Structure 1
């Protein structure tokens, strides 16, 4: 079959050595199912220094720690060629020390470079870092509102900030954001609309701020150090299992950020068989789930992961990937233990010693976390974090930590979950 005229032109330019055309041809062929030929052109484009091709290849090398140094090398070439996506992923890898020595200053330089050049995703992650230190930061407010026109995560944060009555939050902008989110089928748009309807009406059209007048040097100075460790007192829930609650550990807009960042990746819950490593349907949980690996993160989510680790009293590197969970009415997580059985997975990183649960909303009924042995039911408010130990010091599972996520009766329950190993998480 002959190529379409547009594909024929792409092929002609690709064969002439134009790297951008090679990448576009690879994308077109992949979409048409010609995977082998698409792969050849993708690699040709990368060899020619095409930034998007380099970035695409780099993302494939972020699945294991062993291949991360190769990913860093490819991303640095892509960033040098002007790829903001590469800069943002480099920021994550440098911040977490994945494939490269940890370097917060380098991480923020990469993210700021993308933000200064107008990348909406970079602007909203910078905004969230600033909000973590000061929930009313004026630079952060300008960045998040400017990004909201072009970025769904920023739009969700703007709407939530207005619903919370944050100083300076623009309700007219927030209502426009909710309309666009609903049109895009954002799964939490209805909750945002309901929260906004409880407040006073917007009185004037909004004016989206310009980022051209921002003092980027001042912003960089604010980001010189990672967000501070949380100052939160623990409330003892029970002794067996050892479980404690940290109230208001995350702001409502930070919770909305986690929902919005993870929502595009939601799929029916699966588990990795600890013996074979193969994915299969989760026999205990019928929710939707999204597991956010390095490619899915940004600096804001890195900071949130670190906060959960600090609350759990565990090194951040021991944490498994953050999971976003969405429970509709009738959905549940049947009684289970988070510990691992003996096998290769447990041998690599040790036992799942602790679990941290971040409650992302509270506008639902049912869905309590139920510890069976002590018969304690806990229902977190938005931003609360529950931390509990799954095993003793010797790694032996604690039967008292068996728990369930009870069925949701009304509304939708959003939860973020993070498991912590005894040693550095091996992936």
Structure 2
């Protein structure tokens, strides 16, 4: 990867855009794009998600299954890729910003944090082989803030190399003081990489969402993989088939709904797991 790694391209663009290099987490770094979304776009994403929220899940490190955990107490839902013109526009903008192909991205997840809700520090790369089979590791995360938060709700990076050099006053929560932190401001987008330029996992990418102390927090996350997360240019197979040995397992842990582009597909580009998702 090395010099072709998107991090280096982003560094070259820092002076040309509203992009700000916040902190070296090590390599690859942490980037903030001010006003990446308009207020109208933020409100629209919240509108699409508000009546479809469910308890957030986490991936079990051993089995890869989505399970409930007190580590993550928010609620959320997944939009469909290119669900409407606004969603498609945001996805196109993310691909242009990150220099990563749009087909490598998962469907966007909208999250809602109420008073006291949080997500303990975690990695976005996978520990299990099941999830790695779909597009490989998550290489990058784009976290978009859809609302302001009165207090709390910061994104904290406990392992950041510069965590001790960031000044913090009483406007920061105690949780945020435990690492390099970013306050949620409506419209801003945060980009960080979970893999280093040599494709090894980066432990400095450990991150969490601090508890909301006052107000509420809305955010949208786009995870981007090393390889394509879509099933493209596939001809419709005769009969009803799965094209991956893991389809049955993926369907059992809810991937048909979470990742419909890969699992189910569309009439023009059928998914890899149509049989297990019972759509044929």
Question: TM-score band (shorter)?
Answer: 0.5 to 0.7
The partner residue of 1:330 within 113, 116, 123 is: 116
* Contact 2:115/2:216 (<8 A) preserved: yes
Match of 2:254 in 1: none
More helix by share: 1
Residues 210-247 of structure 1: CA deviation (Å, up to 9, x unaligned): xxxxxxxxxxxxxxxxxxxxx84310011124111110
Is 1:239 the counterpart of 2:43? The answer is no
Structure 1 CA distance for aligned equivalents of residues 155 and 138 of structure 2: 18
Segments of 4+ moved more than 4 angstroms: 272-277
The partner residue of 1:366 within 136, 149, 152 is: 152
Structure 2 CA distance for aligned equivalents of residues 260 and 252 of structure 1: 12
Kindly state the Cα deviation for residue 280 of structure 1 after the two structures are TM-superposed: 1.9
Give the secondary structure class of the aligned counterpart of 1:263.
helix
* Contact 2:30/2:192 (<8 A) preserved: yes
Q: How does 1:242-253 map to 2 (within 5 A)?
A: 242-253=29-40
Structure 2 CA distance for aligned equivalents of residues 384 and 300 of structure 1: 16
Kindly state the Cα deviation for residue 420 of structure 1 after the two structures are TM-superposed: 0.5
* Contact 2:35/2:188 (<8 A) preserved: yes
Residues 220-276 of structure 1: CA deviation (Å, up to 9, x unaligned): xxxxxxxxxxx8431001112411111011111110000001112111101354764
* Contact 2:140/2:193 (<8 A) preserved: yes
Match of 2:207 in 1: 403
Structure 2 CA distance for aligned equivalents of residues 232 and 249 of structure 1: 11
User: In terms of mean alpha carbon deviation, does 395-404 or 409-418 score higher?
Assistant: 395-404
Structure 2 CA distance for aligned equivalents of residues 310 and 334 of structure 1: 30
Kindly state the Cα deviation for residue 299 of structure 1 after the two structures are TM-superposed: 2.3
More strand by share: 2
Match of 2:55 in 1: 268
Taking CA–CA contacts closer than 8 Å with sequence separation of 6 or more, which of the two structures ends up with the larger relative contact order? 2
TM-score with structure 2 setting the length: 0.65
Kindly state the Cα deviation for residue 283 of structure 1 after the two structures are TM-superposed: 4.5
Gaps of 5+ in 1: 1-230
Structure 2 CA distance for aligned equivalents of residues 310 and 276 of structure 1: 34
The partner residue of 1:381 within 180, 185, 194 is: 185
Kindly state the Cα deviation for residue 311 of structure 1 after the two structures are TM-superposed: 2.1
Match of 1:43 in 2: none
Q: How does 1:272-283 map to 2 (within 5 A)?
A: 272-273=59-60, 276=63, 278-283=65-70
Taking structure 1 as reference, are residues 309 and 275 closer, same or farther at Cα in structure 2, changes over 3 Å only? farther
Structure 1 CA distance for aligned equivalents of residues 52 and 95 of structure 2: 23
TM-score with structure 1 setting the length: 0.44
Q: How many residues of Structure 1 are paired with residues of Structure 2 in the alignment?
A: 196
Structure 1 CA distance for aligned equivalents of residues 19 and 107 of structure 2: 24
* Contact 1:274/1:343 (<8 A) preserved: no
Kindly state the Cα deviation for residue 288 of structure 1 after the two structures are TM-superposed: 0.7
Note the aligned Cα RMSD (angstroms): 1.9
Residues 310-341 of structure 1: CA deviation (Å, up to 9, x unaligned): 22221111111101010011000101111112
The partner residue of 2:99 within 305, 308, 313 is: 313
* Contact 2:63/2:128 (<8 A) preserved: no
Give the secondary structure class of the aligned counterpart of 1:355.
strand
